[in-house]
Amino acid sequence: MLKPSLQLKLGQSLTMTPQLQQAIRLLQLPVLDLSAQIQEALEENIMLEMEDLPEVPANSADSTAEVETIKAEENWQSSSMERMQDGGWNGEGRTSDDYADQSGESLRDHLLWQLELDSFDERETLIGEALIDAINDDGYLTAEFDDVRACVDIGSAPSDDEIEFTLQKIQRLDPVGVGARTLSECIVLQLSQLDEQTPGLKLAIDLAAEHLDLIANQEYAELRRSLRASEDELDAALALVKGCHPKPGLAVSPAAPEYVIPDVFVRKIDNQWHVEVSSSGIPRLSVNQQYAQLLRGSGDHSVLRSQLQEARWLVRSLEIRNETLMKVATCIVARQHEFLDFGDESMKPLVLRDVAESIGMHESTISRVTTNKYMHTPRGVFEFKYFFSSHLSTTDGDDQSSTAVRAKIRKLIGAEDPGKPLSDSKIATILEQEGINVARRTVAKYREAMKILSSSERRVRKPK
C-alpha cells in the first residue's frame, strides 16, 4: 500500500515574467506597429507621458537620422510608384499611366461606369452588377453562378445561360481580361482582342487554353513536339502569351504601395561605419514623475499603482528593444562592411548563429530582431534578413556568401554575348575557375530566383 510522503527537489527553470514577455513582443514589431502600440498605451495609461520629439534641423550641416528618415521615406515612395507603374500593362500595350485620370477609382467603380454606358438591358444590368460585385481587385470572377444568382433581385431567377451571356459582355469591358475565372481564360481573352493576322496568335491561344503548365515548367521541347511547331513559331506564340497581364484589374486599381520606415541608419564617418537607431515615427516615453511622487507613501490608488508599474515596464521594454536592435545592427555592419563599401559581390556568409554567439543572445531573439526590421544605408534600404546568407565553399578554404555568388551570376549574364548566352553549366565552370565550387543545378536555382530566363530564352537571333 502506498503511503503519502513529502519530497524536496532542487531545479532550475526559466520563468517568462510579464516584463520579459512584453519586451519580446515589442522586439518583433516593425516601426509603424510599434508606434500604434505606443499611442494606444499613451491614451490608456495616465502614468505615461511623451517627451518632445526632436526638431528637424534647419540646414544640411546639422543633418541627423531624422532628416535621413524623411529622405528615405520619400525615396521609397518614389521607387514604389515606379515599380507599380512598370507592372501595369493591361494587354493592349498601355501602362497604368494611361489610367492616371482614374486616380482613386476602384475596379468596381470603373466597371459599373462602363455598365451604365454599354448596351445592357435592365435584366442584364442587374445580373452584371452582381457579377461585378464578385470580381476581385486582380480582375477575376471569384463566385459560382449559384452565388451570383442568389444576389440578383429580379422576378425570375436568371439561368446559367443568362449569367454566362452577361459575363461574356462584361469580359469585353476595359481592362481586357477582366471577369475571367482562370488564368488561362484571362490570357485567352486578352489574346482574342488582337488582330487575327497577328503572327503566332492561333498557336498562342492554344498554348494559353491548354498548355500553361508546360510553359510554367519551361518544357518547350515537349510543346514543339505536341503542337508540331517550329522553334520560331513557338517563340512568336510564347512572346504573345508572356505579354499578357496576369492580373488585369491592377491596371485600373493598382495595389497600394508599402512604405518602410528604417529602424536603424548606417553612415560612414571618418572612414568608419556607424549605426544609429532611428527615433523617427516612435514617440519617446517616460514615466510621469509628478504622479509617481504623489503615490509614494500611500497605500491607496491600486489602479494607479498598477498603471505606474506597467508604465515602467513599457519604458524599460522600449529601452531593451533599442539596445538589442543596436547590438544586432552593429554586429551585422561589422561583418558586412565590405558589402557597404563594394556591393553584393563582397557580401560575406552570415547565419543567425554567428550574430547570436557574437553578442551573447539566443538565435530565436536574433530571428525576431531581423524580421520586418529595416536598415537605411548609402546603398539603399534593406531588411536585416538581406544580410544573412548560406555558405559556399571555395578552393582556397574561404567561404563565399550565396548572395555574392548570385551577384556574380548576374554580372556574368549581364556581360554575355546576346547571340551566345551562357548556359548554367558554363557559368558553373567559370565560377569554378574563380575558385567557387557550385553545381549547375545550384546556378539554375539562383538564376530562377533572380527571375533570369534560361540561356535558350535569352538568346537573341541575328536577322538573316
Residue 7 reports pLDDT greater than 80: no
Q: Which of 246, 287, 240, 307 is nearest to 90 (CA)?
A: 246
Using a CB cutoff of 8 Å and minimum separation of 24, what contacts does 116-123 make? Answer: 118/169, 118/173, 120/166, 120/169, 123/154, 123/158, 123/162
What pLDDT sits at residue 77? 37
b/e code 20-31 from CB counts within 10 Å (16+ = b): eebbbebbebeb
pLDDT digits (tens, 9 = 90+) for 373-424: 899 999 999 989 889 887 676 666 667 788 888 889 988 998 888 888 999 8
Q: How far apart are CA 337 and CA 163, in angstroms?
A: 62
- If phi > 0 it is left, if psi is from -120 to 50 it is alpha, else beta; for residue 392 that is beta
Lowest-confidence segment of 220-229, 240-249, 309-318, 324-333 by average pLDDT? 220-229
Higher pLDDT, 347 or 3: 347
Residue 22 reports pLDDT greater than 90: no
- Give me the mean pLDDT over the 106-111 stretch: 86
Beta bridge partners of 341: none
pLDDT digits (tens, 9 = 90+) for 28-75: 888 888 888 888 888 888 888 887 554 444 443 333 444 444 344 444
Q: Which one-letter DSSP state was computed for residue 279? A: -
pLDDT digits (tens, 9 = 90+) for 269-278: 999 999 999 8
Percent over 90 (pLDDT), the chain: 18
Q: How far apart are CA 20 and CA 98, in angstroms?
A: 53
What pLDDT sits at residue 359? 92
This model's pTM is above 0.75: no
Q: Which of 305, 311, 297, 387 is nearest to 344 (CA)?
A: 387
- Give me the mean pLDDT over the 19-32 stretch: 77
CATH number for the region 391-458 comes to: 1.10.10.60
From the number of C-beta atoms within 10 Å of its C-beta (0-12, 13-18, 19+), residue 17 rates as exposed
Higher pLDDT, 115 or 57: 115
Residue 208 reports pLDDT greater than 60: yes
Mean pLDDT of the chain: 79
Domain range list for the chain: 96-251, 264-387, 391-458
Percent over 70 (pLDDT), the chain: 79
What pLDDT sits at residue 179? 92
Q: What are phi and psi of 380, to 5 degrees?
A: 130, -175
pLDDT digits (tens, 9 = 90+) for 116-162: 877 788 888 889 898 998 899 889 998 888 888 888 877 788 899 99
Residues in the chain: 464
Q: Three-state SS for 300?
A: coil
Q: Cell digits for 316? A: 524599460
pLDDT digits (tens, 9 = 90+) for 261-319: 899 999 999 999 999 998 776 778 888 888 888 777 666 677 888 888 888 889 888 88
Q: What is the dihedral of CA 157, 180, 234, 219, to 10 degrees?
A: -100
